[in-house]
Amino acid sequence: MLFVPGLGAALASSIAAVALSFCYSRAAQQAPAAVVLVGIQVVALPLAVVVLAAQWQATMAVLADLFKPTAAIWIGLVAAAAVCIDLFSLRAYAAGIPISVMRPITTGVSLFGTTVIGLALGEPVTPMRMAGIAAIIIGIVLLSWEVK
């Protein structure tokens, strides 16, 4: 099957992640990680409100979901993970790790972790998926390799 539902959103998310990495690397050189982290939250909340306001009916369903105990727990865990990603990425960039090394490392570890979780959840693993994962890991190693 060539068309995968949600592929456009996944590609847009990947492009946004690249832009995020670039912006992190620049912001981390300009201000301490805690300052950038607070700034991200201050700007992100109004943006989220604008996006949700543009989709009023969907927003009402989302707000109703916030009051479900299991949804609230998962939302809290997502928020905690997002703050950790921001904080540790900013610290790595501030320490001088180049974007050409940082992004492949985060992608590789994320790929490995989500693959393990997918296997644990019983998602199918085909030979083509395994070959793709192997190619990505090899690519990350090659991108991160420094000749001295």
Q: Are residues 40 and 55 in the same domain?
A: yes
33 Cβ contact partners less than 8 Å away, ≥ 6 residues apart: 87, 90, 91, 94
Q: What single letter denotes the amino acid at residue 68?
A: K
Boundaries of domain holding 71: 31-96
In whole angstroms, what is the distance from residue 138 CA to residue 38 CA? 36
Tell whether 35 and 86 lie within a shared domain. Answer: yes
Judge contact between 94 and 25, C-beta under 8 A: no
- CA 123/CA 130 separation, integer angstroms: 13
pTM comes to 0.67
Domain match, 41 and 89 both: yes
pLDDT tens digit string along 100-143?
Answer: 888 878 877 887 788 888 888 988 888 888 888 788 778 877 87
d(CA 62, CA 72): 11
Query: Does any domain span residue 16?
Result: no
pLDDT tens for each residue of 21-46: 888 889 988 999 889 888 888 888 88
